[in-house]
Amino acid sequence: MTISVFIDGEAGTTGLQIRERLASESAIRLLSIPADKRKDVDARRTLMGMADLVVLCLPDDAAKDAVALAADLGKSAPKIVDASTAHRVAPGWVYGFAELDADQSEKIRAARHVTNPGCYPTGAIALLRPLVAAGLIPSDHPITVNAVSGYSGGGRSMIETYEPVRSAPNFELYALTLEHKHVPELMAYSGLQRRPIFVPSVGNFRQGMLVSIPLHLNTLPGSPRAADLEAALVRHYAGAPSVRVVDAAAAAHTRLEPEALNGTDELELFVFGKSELGHALLVARLDNLGKGAAGAAVQNIKLMLGV
């Protein structure tokens, strides 16, 4: 049986990546809308009615409108994967990070509405959730999350400041008001109750991401070692094919670059430690267009459709 998928917003960066990944799936038939009909409500509703699943690659307000449009179809309404920020913490939506907990993939499989994670929160939540759940990091512990992304993480408007002629700086911090739309999501799924300080940045490379979280180990209950943190991550992600906990000590890394996983849907986690200083550094590395966006969306689509 062929399953139909409509990507509403397929011309954007994430939509194009999702379409490219799904094109090789013989069990999936991709429905497309003509370029001149992309904002035509009736044309979009018709395609939604033909689809088993709709992927929303739209701005937040447009995604909310699209969900309402699909709901008007009643029993014919398709399943939805929303790649925007609009429903990340909304009631009734399942969070699309399959490795979040042991039963998360089954929740996604059974869901009709799944919200795709943000790229930055994917890295931070992957590091924090297991450690908070294990009691190694208290939920009210003060946390700082530092992150750098390739410019594709900022969508079309940011891409256009780098391509084809760069008008943006080589590197910059942003969200210096200490407000960012990813923070509520990060808190909701990491288990943190105290708002973390989130410091995002962008570099002059198209894609790739590093998310880092520094820790003073002697401020944590029982003063755990870096090895204890790493062991908790290993236990949590045992059997997860797309998430790998790297033995930082054995790998002897003294530097990490953000582009090593580009073109993959993998997520690497590291725990660097210096016992005599009582310091540790948690790091996640991923492709912001892979596991941080389109790769996660395709993973969720396959779970929801049983492909």
In a shared domain, residues 151 and 244? yes
In a shared domain, residues 123 and 111? no
How far is the C-alpha of 262 from the C-alpha of 288, rounded, in Å? 8
| Alpha helix stretches (DSSP H) within the chain | 13-22, 41-50, 60-71, 104-110, 119-133, 155-159, 183-190, 226-236, 248-251, 295-305
Q: What is the pLDDT of residues 72-106, one digit of tens each?
A: 999 999 999 999 999 999 999 999 999 999 999 99
**pLDDT of the residue at 8:** 96
In DSSP terms, 151 is beta-bridged to none
In a shared domain, residues 152 and 281? yes
Q: What is the pLDDT of residues 160-188, one digit of tens each?
A: 888 877 888 899 999 999 999 999 999 99
In which residue ranges of the chain is pLDDT below 50? none
Catalytic status, residue 119: yes
In a shared domain, residues 147 and 209? yes
Q: Which of 55, 47, 1, 78 is nearest to 307 (CA)?
A: 1
In a shared domain, residues 7 and 143? no
In a shared domain, residues 75 and 206? no
Q: What is the CATH number of the domain that holds 13?
A: 3.40.50.720
In a shared domain, residues 129 and 42? no
Q: Where are the beta strands (DSSP E) in 204-276?
A: 209-216, 243-246, 267-274
In a shared domain, residues 276 and 298? no
Residues 108/114, Cβ–Cβ less than 8 Å: yes
In a shared domain, residues 113 and 179? no
Q: How many domains does the chain have?
A: 2
**pLDDT of the residue at 141:** 98
In a shared domain, residues 193 and 137? yes
**pLDDT of the residue at 171:** 94
In a shared domain, residues 156 and 224? yes
Q: What range defines the domain where residue 299 resides?
A: 3-117+293-305
Annotated catalytic residue: which of 66, 119, 248, 293? 119
